[in-house]
Amino acid sequence: MYLRHSSADKGDSIAGQRALCREWLEHNGIEDAAEYSEDATSAYKKRMLDRPQWSELEAAIRTGQVTHVVARHIDRLTRSMTDLEHLVQLVEATGVRLSTVWSSDLDLNSPAGRQTARILASVAQGESETKSQRILASKERARAAGRASGGPRPFGYTSASGDLVDAEAVLVRQGLQDALDGLSAHSIARKWDASGVPSARGGQWHVKTVKGVLTRWRNAGQLEHKGEPVGEALYPAITDLETVQAVRAVLLDPSRVKGVFGADGGPKPTTLMSGLALCGACGSPMKARRMDDGKGARVGAYTCSARSCNLTIRRELLDSEVARAMTRFYMDADVSDLAPSDADRAEYVRLQGERGELETERAGIIAMMKSGSLRAAEAADVLGGIEDRHSAVEAVTEALSRRFALAASMAAPISETGRVDLDAATAIRTRFDAQHLDLRRRQVQQVWIVTVRSRHYASGYGLGEKFKQQARLKFDCLPRPAMSFDNLTELTTVEYD
């Protein structure tokens, strides 16, 4: 038996087809028929060989394991004249018998039988084309009226055109802000899982589903067609259009998959300082690895990525010293002018939207050049101007993103002088350690250039082994150069707790 149900076949079902086919088999004295069924599969849009179950059935036919196929009607086998000719060739090559409950046998070996089959297939194809036009017209009418054109329940809404689900909408708004603050889709997925709010289908959150929710135009109350906004919707918005444009510019930016990690399929960082700490001997970034501690145990370490250097430091020590440096920064910096203002956030959203517009403009110029409607020399001039504007936007965006990254650890009590209370040092350190890895890495990257020097660097200063290791570290502060410090200097001049 071959059973196929398309999502466009209202009132039909696999179970209904199965019952009809079994009744036909029993009436014709046939028992133990194997079943090949495909649900939500179109015979109009998908060729026969693109349907997994049909491909499996055809393989069994060609090897002689199946000699008779029963379906409810020929339109279950094909709604395409092209596929019918394929079916004719299959019958001629294998001699397989085709029977349908509603049309009796299909004698594709005779001219009259093929003519009948072609008429039936032509009618089925025409029905599919008409049905497709009706569905498209219905969706167009829905969009023109400001309604969604169907589909499953979107996260944050009661239905495709329904009201907001408050708890889910709050999560979406926070996710949008997290994305603008530099949190990755992977980290947002972990936060949403931890919140206990499942996806619209009731499952866990993944990077792809999080990106889909945060970058959809419906969040701004816009109807969407083929990935583009096509007008205002009747259903409520979760946020404003500028925020959605900014988040799309961030999460859909191709450069997010490029760089030190992930540019060529490399691993995502799983340690705080891998790729951030610099080797004091050659300036190369240090990478995380596990090494033998000389006593038979394997310990985490950072080692210079240059093969000729071999400079290493224990991971636990470097991570602890960096966390101490971040605490020191938040305690000593005048954070009142580092925290992003509402105007900063509005400007960031505007710039991200402008970046998205520049990307669209650049793609349009390239398309015109490829089509021949714009000469290469003219396109080069226009593209050069776009690149200049893009670079200017990137420079301002990067400066603002530093504030957003630092803002995540500024929840400790701040005095009227703009300085964090000294009693809050423990709270600052605890908060920093509890944050998602990628957010901690982003903060470190925006505050410190951390240099690890040779293991013999502090020799001759009378320091114990532990302090010798700490003395190898040098911290250069990017936003506040005056806060830069050298552990060796501090360990040899002041008490270091």
CATH number of the domain that residue 204 is part of? 3.90.1750.20
Specify whether the CB–CB gap between 471 and 454 falls below 8 A. no
Which pLDDT does position 142 carry in this prediction?
58
CA 322/CA 325 separation, integer angstroms: 5
Average pLDDT per run of 10 along the chain, which is 497 residues long? 77 85 89 86 66 91 92 82 83 88 71 71 62 60 64 89 92 90 84 92 92 93 80 88 83 59 52 94 91 81 86 92 90 65 77 81 83 81 85 79 57 44 71 81 88 82 75 90 86 55
Residue 46: closest CA among 16, 82, 74: 82
CA 235/CA 220 separation, integer angstroms: 10
Which pLDDT does position 409 carry in this prediction?
47
| One domain for residues 272 and 360 | no
Last residue of a domain, one of 81, 108, 141: 141
CA 463/CA 182 separation, integer angstroms: 40
| One domain for residues 276 and 311 | yes
Q: Cα dist. 466→240, 286, 456, 469, 484 in Å?
A: 53, 21, 13, 5, 22
Last residue of a domain, one of 385, 409, 433: 409
Structure tokens at 457: 């660097």
| One domain for residues 351 and 235 | no
What 3-state class would DSSP assign to 476? strand
**Which structural domain, as residue segments, surrounds residue 434?**
265-335+420-497
**What Rg value do the Cα atoms of the chain yield, rounded?**
32
Which pLDDT does position 411 carry in this prediction?
42
Structure tokens at 160: 């495709």
Specify whether the CB–CB gap between 311 and 301 falls below 8 A. no
157 is a domain residue: no
| One domain for residues 330 and 360 | no
DSSP state of 479: S
160 is a domain residue: no
The b-or-e profile of 41-68 (16+ CB within 10 A means b, else e) is bbbbebebeebebbeebbebbeeeebee
Q: What are the φ and ψ backbone dihedral angles of 234, each rounded to 5 degrees?
A: -80, -25
| One domain for residues 20 and 129 | yes
CA 230/CA 241 separation, integer angstroms: 13
